[in-house]
Amino acid sequence: MSAIKKSSLVDQVYQKLRTEIIMLKRPMGSKLNVNDLQEELGVSCTPIREAINRLQQEGLVIYENNVGAHVLLLREHDVLEIQQLAVTLHCAAARLAMENGDRKLIAAELEKHLMDYKTARNIQSEVMAINRFLGTFYHNCGNQRLDKSMISIQGQQLLLRYIYAGCIPERGKLKDDYQRMLDAVLRGDTESLCTAIRENADKATPVLLEFVSQYQVPDSGEERASGRDRSRRRSG
């Protein structure tokens, strides 16, 4: 029997902050003050600093001299660049997966994740199903460097997916997009697969641009109030 791996304190702080940032529970542009996080999380400054450094490397946290660390604040050009890069990587992974992978196994995995998407009851489950669906191409592409390239922007991609899913009132609304991708895999039609991937991104981009253009960064008073509210909920 294999031993159960225990996550380190740094890993726990990193995962908590990463999840909260991606799900917009920590607003874009909000400050990450180490002292405030110590009080909030009940841990020393060392794991917090290390977790923030990891989030900075992932592009979810920005550090500025004389300002400190704050959550990434997406602007219109950021959305366009992330979307363009993601589509390029998705299509590259899809092409390689179709060339090098077992198409039947890929289709079976995609079908499972599509069902998870269709039955998702909340945004978190929906976004994770999409992430696993598209991740299938990376797992089967046979190119580790390509896989690592996607991992480097995965946090930002997940953030965009949460924003987009939150702007769509109906859960599972994009199931036809992913069905088209699955059908293309079943037919062995790589070009149609890549077209479906691009059109899915093109559908999301205007919604994302509209969201970030109207996004208001909370002031420091609102951030402190939010932190006090979280503290009261924990102690209540």
In-domain check, residue 110:
yes
Task: Clarify whether residues 25 and 138 are in a common domain.
Answer: no
Averaged pLDDT, 131-146: 95
In-domain check, residue 107:
yes
Measured from the Cβ of residue 227, the count of other Cβ atoms closer than 10 Å reads 17
Question: Cα(207)–Cα(210) distance, rounded to whole angstroms?
Answer: 5
- pLDDT for 219: 66
**Residues paired with residue 70 on neighbouring β-strands, in sequence order:** 31, 62
In-domain check, residue 129:
yes
In-domain check, residue 3:
no
Task: Give the start-end residues of each E strand in 84-226.
Answer: none
CATH number for the domain spanning 141: value is 1.20.120.530
Tokens of 1: 């029997």
Domain of 27, in residue numbers = 9-73
Tokens of 134: 């598209």
- Cβ(131)–Cβ(161) below 8 Å: yes
In-domain check, residue 226:
no
> What's CA 112's distance to the chain center, in Å?
20
- pLDDT for 229: 45
CATH number for the domain spanning 38: value is 1.10.10.10
Averaged pLDDT, 18-47: 94
pTM for the structure as a whole: 0.84
What percentage of the chain reaches a pLDDT higher than 90?
Answer: 78
Task: Clarify whether residues 95 and 132 are in a common domain.
Answer: yes
Averaged pLDDT, 197-222: 87
Using one digit for the tens of pLDDT, what is the confidence trace for 54-105? 999 999 999 988 888 999 999 999 999 999 999 999 999 999 999 999 999 9
- pLDDT for 232: 38
Task: Clarify whether residues 38 and 123 are in a common domain.
Answer: no
Measured from the Cβ of residue 133, the count of other Cβ atoms closer than 10 Å reads 20
Report the domain count for the chain.
2
In-domain check, residue 230:
no
Averaged pLDDT, 193-201: 97
In-domain check, residue 228:
no
- Cβ(51)–Cβ(38) below 8 Å: no
Task: Clarify whether residues 26 and 134 are in a common domain.
Answer: no
In-domain check, residue 4:
no
**Residues paired with residue 62 on neighbouring β-strands, in sequence order:** 70
Concatenated DSSP letters of 130-164: HHHHHHHHHHTS--HHHHHHHHHHHHHHHHHHHHH
Question: Cα(89)–Cα(100) distance, rounded to whole angstroms?
Answer: 16
Task: Clarify whether residues 86 and 52 are in a common domain.
Answer: no
Task: Clarify whether residues 102 and 146 are in a common domain.
Answer: yes
Listed residues 34, 58, 73: the one ending a domain:
73
| Average pLDDT value for the chain | 89
Q: 62 — phi, psi (to 5°)?
A: -115, 140
Question: Cα(184)–Cα(112) distance, rounded to whole angstroms?
Answer: 16
Residue among 81, 106, 87 at smallest CA distance from 186: 106
Task: Give the start-end residues of each E strand in the chain.
Answer: 61-64, 68-71
Question: Cα(22)–Cα(4) distance, rounded to whole angstroms?
Answer: 27
Listed residues 24, 45, 73: the one ending a domain:
73
